[in-house]
Structure 1
């Protein structure tokens, strides 16, 4: 895709993030949650802008020497175009800039597409959080990557 801009989150992006969250996740974050992230000194967000609209994003909390991915989402109209790769690469880059040694995340057991994306970037499944997701009691797989 041409005309892609990769950048950090701005307050003016929050409505786009909420729209994507509502389209993608069964338990979406709301506007207030994203506003709090803007003032969270541990949080970093990468957004992908296409033709002046945010179409994908990812968030991570940098805690001591670990990065915990909080969310990654691609607008359904833009899936299959490699934007998830761009987001993960942006989060890895953010970690490296901040001397982070490892990264972790939780992913739904049923979300094989996301698991394959993370595996492509060196994340390995190291554990399970039973019944982690409150909407359907689905297990979360815990994945880690050393940098």
Structure 2
């Protein structure tokens, strides 16, 4: 018997135990449970979870304001990384943003996080010259690269999830 299929769906408060486990395994300065609970109540936010059976194995979120989306976070359980879960979550965020009339999407990524940078480039994100936020990550003082995607959907193939 194989592994359960990965499903992507909107995050609910019932998912927060699994989200918090991944958050603490993934970040030096994790968001609080209250921060996620607050985000789930906002009309301008979209948060998704990836589930393998009953277990949350990844999540992603964004703010959607007018014609712009800003990715707030993407994380996959360390034991499930490298299996395309982050890519599926990002593709779903892009598709949802596009369906809401968003024309461009932005995010910040750690200078040291080359796997994430490679994923974002694969999805069509680019870095504008000089697009660095100095000391953006307060836990380490690390700089962030600002990446941008416009247009949001370039062809039908890219929009497929």
Q: Please give the TM-score of this superposition, normalised by the length of structure 2.
A: 0.89
1:80 and 1:98 map into 2 onto residues whose CA distance is 29
1:135 corresponds to = 139
Q: How many residues align?
A: 147
> How far off is 1:58 after superposition?
0.4
> How far off is 1:63 after superposition?
1.0
> How far off is 1:97 after superposition?
1.4
1:93 corresponds to = 95
Aligned pairs for 1:23-42 (under 5 A) are 23-42=25-44
Asked if residue 108 in structure 1 is aligned to residue 110 in structure 2, the reply is yes
2:29 and 2:65 map into 1 onto residues whose CA distance is 24
1:9 and 1:60 map into 2 onto residues whose CA distance is 12
Write the deviation string for residues 98-141 of structure 1: whole angstroms up to 9, x where unpaired. Answer: 11000000000000000000000000012000011111111000
1:91 and 1:84 map into 2 onto residues whose CA distance is 11
Find the partner of 1:47 among 46, 49, 55. 49
Q: Please give the TM-score of this superposition, normalised by the length of structure 1.
A: 0.97
User: Which stretches in structure 1 are left out of the alignment for 5+ residues?
Assistant: none
**After TM superposition, what 4+ stretches of structure 1 lie above 6 angstroms from structure 2?**
none
> How far off is 1:65 after superposition?
0.6
Q: Which has the larger radius of gyration?
A: 2
Write the deviation string for residues 42-63 of structure 1: whole angstroms up to 9, x where unpaired. Answer: 1101111101111011000001
2:21 and 2:32 map into 1 onto residues whose CA distance is 9
1:57 corresponds to = 59
> How far off is 1:2 after superposition?
4.8
